[in-house]
Amino acid sequence: MVNNNNGRPTFVLFLIVFIDLLGFGIILPILPLYAEQFGAEPNEATLLVAIYSLMQFLFAPLWGSLSDRYGRRPIILLTLFGSLIAYTGLGFANSLGILFIARGLAGMMAGNIATAQAYIADITTPANRARGMGIIGAAFGLGFILGPAIGGILVGTDPDNANFHLPSLFSAGLSLLALLCALVLLPESLNAETKAKIQAHRYRQRRLNLLHLLQRPQFCMLIGIYFLVTFAVAAMDSTFALWSKQELNWGPQQISYLFAFMGIVCTIVQGGLIGFLKKLLGEIKLLTLGILGLGVGLLLIGFSQSLILLLVSTTLVAGGISVNQPILNSLISQITVTEDQGQILGIASSCSALARIVGSIWAGASFMKFGSSAPFLSGFLVVLLAFILSWRMNKNTSESKAERVV
């Protein structure tokens, strides 16, 4: 379904995702240090990211499939309520085990991002889908600007007596606000006609399966790039706080403020620049450029010993992330029929979650065995593979266009 009057639903969805990601942004920078309060080693702290991603990996396709069948709105409401419970549990955690349970539940509910993306796909045309995905990306960026900044304030200025409970409970309050906004303001994006098509689609048993998807080279390349890029980003996210504490002697407040800076960069790119760059370069060239920026930024972080170099490197990383995510989602959605939008985007989100599982586990192990910069340097090598795939895709696209001209 394409709704020409999609301004209000898009804004409401932006607001909901922003509030939801604000809570996520508050917790992310301080989570490894929170785990250390319960005696966790670096490899155990990064497992908190892995358990979150594992549950997202398992549940993202389910939420996407259920949203195809029952509608986007009920799934968004259900998962926002689950996030409220998860953050509340995180706020009252008194052991490492409770932290893992709360993060697992939060990861289970985080699969709703694919549903939000499917909602955008419902109400946009292929021509403006990248812009629609960019609006969701801007909500991510704003969440990462204000979230870490708020978390840095709430956690306190004393690294030795940081208050990790208050940011978690504040995030629970934000989830409640997002739930209320969705309940009151968010309409359903699937109309009766589209639901009927989905039911007929299911009746004919044209179900997606892995073998069917593997026969689609473009989909495989996009998923491969998605996996590699997310692996590298997860390695950075899960160990950056530990790295900055060891290398720069930073506490949770300084770490949160740097994440806020990265959020500013993401918002600038996704909120305005991505549309211009897409028209100038095209989606696949822009994707290749974003991957290059991400790789160079990760490489520079591994050698950063000054604030200036760290700001340059994190600017490149944030710029790369903010380009890659909406472009990949847009390209994947454009090669997918309407009836499968939720399921396909759920599969993509699930593969991304799998990359975060593996990336986080690798980051913790390499941090302890090879040194604090190992997750960033190995992330650069992984992104290099993604760059080669995107370059091949760009080359294949150019050759196809040339053949059509001839």
Q: What is the DSSP code string of 119-180?
A: HHHHHS-GGGHHHHHHHHHHHHHHHHHHHHHHHHHHH-S-GGG---HHHHHHHHHHHHHHHH
Q: Phi first, then psi: give them for residue 31, nearest 5 degrees.
A: -60, -45
Q: How much is the pLDDT for 42?
A: 86
Q: How much is the pLDDT for 211?
A: 53
- Using the structure block, give the residue that is written with the tokens 């990265």: 262
Q: How much is the pLDDT for 300?
A: 96
Within the chain, what is the greatest distance between any pair of CA atoms? 69
User: Encoding tokens for residue 5?
Assistant: 């009057």
Q: Measuring CA to CA, how many Å separate 239 from each of 36, 74, 80, 126?
A: 12, 35, 27, 37
Which DSSP letter does residue 138 get?
A: H
Q: How much is the pLDDT for 206?
A: 46
CATH assignment of 7-188+211-405, among 1.20.1250.20, 2.40.30.10, 3.20.20.150, 2.60.40.10: 1.20.1250.20
Q: How much is the pLDDT for 404?
A: 38
Mean pLDDT by runs of 10 across the 406 residues of the chain is: 55 79 83 88 86 82 81 90 94 93 90 78 74 72 81 84 90 89 85 64 49 68 92 92 90 88 84 82 90 96 91 94 86 71 70 87 93 95 94 68 38
Q: In terms of Cα–Cα distance, which of 392, 400, 94 is closest to 225? A: 392
- Report the alpha-carbon distance of residue 327 to residue 290 in Å, rounded: 10
Q: In terms of Cα–Cα distance, which of 274, 285, 287 is closest to 135? A: 274
H-only helix segments in 31-128: 31-36, 42-70, 72-91, 96-109, 112-123
Q: In terms of Cα–Cα distance, which of 308, 309, 322, 291 is closest to 390? A: 291
The CA-based angle 119-122-127, given to 5 degrees, is 115
